[in-house]
Amino acid sequence: MSARMLDGRALSKEIRAGLFERSLRIRNKGVVPGLAVILVGNDPASKVYVRNKSKACDECGVMSKIFSFPGTVSEYELMELIAELNVSNEIDGILVQLPLPGHVNVRNIIGCISVNKDVDGFHLYNVGGLVVGGTIFPPCTPYGVQLLLEAAKIEVASKNVVIVGASNIVGKPMALMLLQKGATVSICHIKTRDLSLYTRMADILIVAAGKPGLITADMVKNDVVVIDVGINKMSDGSITGDVDFDSVKHIASWITPVPGGVGPMTVTMLIENTIRSAELRMS
């Protein structure tokens, strides 16, 4: 038996059609939803992500503006721009593409974004909202994973969910969101002693470690649901996840492909957050 696919591309297409309708309703009232994206430096992956976000905005009727800075930009210059965007009537969402160069303190920069425009959900206020069960803007990747599970009617309450990777962007917020839904959540990370002890317990395994082929068939139990958040560029130019898809798909009940799984959902949820921000502004 082969696992069923959690097709993020197809689900994104469906959600984006709905987002276009929502954006149209806002536009008909004279407001164009707008996203500002701040890109610092020349990281090729960041450039691709930003281009994808901008394309998705076009598709959903959201205006996007990209502000590009050289890697030498100062914290002050970034803060000045964010202060302007915070009060701009054209902008509903502000996103600072990460990573930032080492001399720029990420916490300082994200902390300047108005919590009402923090469509990435990275501001400490929104992070705190996740902890106590309710946030204005859920972070996009965990939000996308949650919708993929919901669309496939995969219940998370009472399930053993194991998350591999404890990043602030994916692992930690994902854990909080699923805890809120009643899952029993374990987070594994670089210092976890026996990774497979945990992964074999998982009813739902979410992998966001950035290590191609980290999870192999012998590390999972029958009928596990596997969500692969990894996006790894290989030397031949191909993109692969953190899970050995070809072997694990024979054991899992559901699995996300890479590409075409979580990736498109992340971008779609960013647009959702931006449109919701515009709706909130008008209400």
Residue 226 three-state SS: strand
Cα dist from 282 to 25, 27, 32, 57, whole Å:
11, 11, 11, 19
CB of 170 to ligand GUN, least distance (A): 8
**Sole window of 2-10, 54-62, 64-72, 93-101 interacting with ligand GUN (rule: CB under 6 A):** 93-101
Instruction: Work out which of 5, 31, 79, 98 binds ligand GUN, going by CB under 6 A.
Output: 98
Cα dist from 238 to 56, 87, 212, 280, whole Å:
22, 42, 12, 40
Check binding of 177 to ligand GUN (CB under 6 A): no
Check binding of 115 to ligand GUN (CB under 6 A): no
Distance CA 105, CA 102 (A): 7
Q: Give the CA dihedral 102, 107, 110, 111, nearest 10 degrees.
A: -150
Check binding of 40 to ligand GUN (CB under 6 A): no
* Residues 132-171 within binding reach of ligand GUN (CB under 6 A): 140-141, 169
Check binding of 96 to ligand GUN (CB under 6 A): yes
Instruction: Work out which of 62, 94, 95, 220 binds ligand GUN, going by CB under 6 A.
Output: 95
Q: Respond yes or no: is residue 97 known to be catalytic.
A: yes
* Catalytic option among 118, 120, 228, 242: 120
Where on the phi/psi map is residue 153: left (φ > 0), alpha (ψ -120 to 50), or beta? left
Nearer to ligand GUN, 167 or 196 (CB): 167
Q: Respond yes or no: is residue 120 known to be catalytic.
A: yes
Is residue 224 within 8 Å of residue 246, measured between CB atoms? no
Residue nearest ligand GUN (C-beta atom): 98
Q: Respond yes or no: is residue 180 known to be catalytic.
A: no
Amino acid occupying residue 266: T
Distance CA 106, CA 193 (A): 30
Over the window 260 to 279, marking each residue x when it contacts ligand GUN by CB under 6 A and - when it does not, the resulting string is ------x-------------
Active site residues: 53, 97, 120
Residues contributing to the site for ligand GUN (CB under 6 A): 95-98, 120, 140-141, 169, 266
